[in-house]
Structure 1
């Protein structure tokens, strides 16, 4: 079974003030943490970034941009663009703004994955982009974008899937699944 990692790094980072993928925590850029969490479980990893930032990544990282038809349409467009770029049986998705995520968490998520889509929830807060998507979901993503419906959870609700409690993946879910949206949030860690 071929597994491809999708690292979403195409957001506008309005609240952060600069591209979150390149923000640093303990001397490493955010995107490195997501790559490290995906690497042990993926045959390939593709980073989906905005065109102006493609050259900011090293040559060793496989980077793509949104499909032209869906450029700038958010995370669903990024997921579909990566699926179009590399065929696989399943895709492990992570955003670039979770510098506290570790490989063990992603390994457990893969172990618990059943159905078409698995995603994480922590204390009632859903994290739809920490997820696994089977390839058969691709037509639904494309149709949602053609209908101008950019909601990730809309597509997830159309398929057999599950929300996995973060406590099943780590003893510290409130830290592991923390989205860092502002520099102050990083300081509070």
Structure 2
């Protein structure tokens, strides 16, 4: 089985963009929307790419689970369910605000045994879809909402990488555009 046949991807795009001041997923950077940078990064290594928390004309949108408002883990739980139900063994996650990823990071994650995440940006990770119900239960029981806490709870491997530029504020966006 090829990696793409067993791995789905998700772009986590459900944040309120409150620090950015407007919908950053729709912000144009170097000729395309930020959300489309993440979709383009996932597409070559994933059999399907979902979008969580944001409508996208070309991709299936998946709802947070067990309910909205739980941050990236709610989006991850919903996407794990969609991936599992579609027959994918694992899910590769990216936020919508990291247009430049270290070379080879996604391939290293995909080659990991079990769950793994980028040490400098834990929402970038690979997760077993079989954990969909477990994560939803964790969130329903008011488990910590930090991705790093979830990763630790399931024994996910931290993968070292170069610093990953993340866009949280307009100044981050402007600084990235100047490089």
Common fold by TM > 0.5: yes
The change in CA–CA distance for 1:81 and 1:103 in structure 2 (over 3 A counts) is: farther
User: CA shift at 1:103, angstroms?
Assistant: 7.3
Question: Between Structure 1 and Structure 2, how many residues are aligned?
Answer: 168
Structure 1 pair 64–103 and aligned structure 2 pair: CA distance change class (3 A): farther
Aligned to 1:86: 83
Q: Deviations along 1:74-110, whole A, 9 cap, x unmatched?
A: 1111011112223220000000010113774312321
Matched residue, 1:108 = 108
Contact residue 83 and residue 89 of structure 2 kept, 8 A = no
- 2:22 pairs with 1:24: no
Match of 2:138 among 140, 144, 147: 144
Please give the secondary structure, in 2, of the residue aligned with 1:81. Answer: helix
1:13 aligns with 2:17: yes
CA contact (8 A) 1:36 1:103 kept: no
In the TM superposition, what is the alpha-carbon distance from 1:30 to its structure 2 partner?
Answer: 0.3
TM-superposed deviation, 1:27: 1.3
Do structure 1's residue 153 and structure 2's residue 148 form an aligned pair? yes
What secondary structure is seen at the aligned counterpart in 1 of 2:132? Answer: helix
SS in 2 for 1:86: helix
2 CA distance for matches of 1:17 and 1:78?
A: 21
2:69 aligns to what SS in structure 1? coil
| TM-score (normalizing by structure 1) | 0.82
Q: CA RMSD in A?
A: 1.7
- Secondary structure in structure 1 of the residue aligned to 2:139: helix
DSSP 3-state at the match of 1:70: coil
The 3-state SS of whatever aligns with 1:100 is: coil
